[in-house]
Amino acid sequence: MIHSLFLINSSGDIFLEKHWKSVVSRSVCDYFFEAQERATEAENVPPVIPTPHHYLLSVYRHKIFFVAVIQTEVPPLFVIEFLHRVVDTFQDYFGVCSEPVIKDNVVVVYEVLEEMLDNGFPLATESNILKELIKPPTILRTVVNTITGSTNVGDQLPTGQLSVVPWRRTGVKYTNNEAYFDVIEEIDAIIDKSGSTITAEIQGVIDACVKLTGMPDLTLSFMNPRLLDDVSFHPCVRFKRWESERILSFIPPDGNFRLLSYHVSAQNLVAIPVYVKHNISFRDSSSLGRFEITVGPKQTMGKTIEGVIVTSQMPKGVLNMSLTPSQGTHTFDPVTKMLSWDVGKINPQKLPSLKGTMSLQAGASKPDENPTINLHFKIQQLAISGYSEL
């Protein structure tokens, strides 16, 4: 399975390595560095890189490459999912997953990795179980360990490891019993200049924070579960009941966990909650152009649109832009030709707009087409897909 793990920062330096079966030389990462040089951006590095004697599988998160080295063919998604689980575990243990934090807690990192894999095969990947095996670092525990020479390793085997519900420890007790479920949806859509939707799809997750006494058995139902495609569940979910009744039945882990992730395809009607009105024109035989865009809410059910950021890659012939925003701040990079407008929150009574002129290169031909406009936004307490849990 997994022989070695290398952590590489954005500068191409290997700042941590862990070996399970046998020590693999750092030189194997040269193939990864070659692929990194060919990629225009860090996100474009191929997740699977074959070499003469190994396969390199990687994920890029928090400006760190997590590169796993294997010698035999395995399902790539299996290894990639494990790497994501490693990142999530570090984030759960240390609050943030970054190079300085990992270096400061290198002993705990090695202890956690040793428990997560046994001879290269995944063993304990649930955060609750790992925290019983390896205690999370605290200032007091660090001081005590320094004085006494002890470690963060637990004294006994987690009780959950011996049960049929390995993701939950036994004997959980809370004074206040509570459970929270956060539905987070990301909509990706392409809209033409007339405002018609060409394609739209939704990627969503349900994150849970459950603090209940004992061994609770929960049931979660949806108003319209048929909308959900490509559903991926936490191991606690009883899949057979979902297949037959479209109801989530599960004994939850203790604390924070991701209950499921899902996809809503473009075949279903996806309502876009914002609109963009634009007037971008390039005049023939002129060194000036007109630029005007307005952003407004649509079908938000009274919810406020926040964190609005508008970006647009302008044509190469645009030398500079003189714009005036009615709200927020804007920047234009004359080298990369990237326009960015940080709108913030949209007030329906006074829609934000960005107006002005563009300075064009003298003698340059008129661009064949208008630039694309990218819009990023957030809406609290609104599920775009409309499946409405519970």
b/e sequence 324-343, b meaning 16+ C-beta within 10 Å: ebebbebebeeeebebebbb
- d(Cα 67, Cα 82) in Å, to the nearest integer? 11
Q: Is the CB of residue 330 less than 8 Å from the CB of residue 354? A: yes
Assign 361 a pLDDT band (cuts: 50, 70, 90): confident
Average per-residue pLDDT for the chain: 87
* Residue range 289-318, pLDDT digits in tens: 899 999 999 876 788 899 999 999 998 888
Give residue for tokens 């957030």: 378
280 or 17, which is more confident: 17
224 or 13, which is more confident: 13
Assign 131 a pLDDT band (cuts: 50, 70, 90): confident
Give me the mean pLDDT over the 105-126 stretch: 90
Say yes or no to pLDDT of 268 above 90: no
Q: What percent of the chain has pLDDT over 70?
A: 91
Say yes or no to pLDDT of 172 above 50: yes
Give me the mean pLDDT over the 67-76 stretch: 93
Give me the mean pLDDT over the 262-274 stretch: 77
SS3 85: helix
100 or 164, which is more confident: 100
Assign 390 a pLDDT band (cuts: 50, 70, 90): very low
- d(Cα 337, Cα 59) in Å, to the nearest integer? 30
How many other CB atoms sit within 10 Å of the CB of residue 278?
15
DSSP string, 140-176: HHHHHHHHH---SB-SS--GGGGSS-TTS-SS---SS
How many other CB atoms sit within 10 Å of the CB of residue 308?
21
Q: List helix spans (H) across the chain.
A: 29-38, 76-94, 99-104, 106-116, 127-133, 139-148, 239-245
Q: Which two tokens mark 166?
A: 């390995």
Residues 6+ apart with CB under 8 A from 299: 271, 272, 273
Give residue for tokens 């079908």: 299
Say yes or no to pLDDT of 150 above 70: no
pTM: 0.76
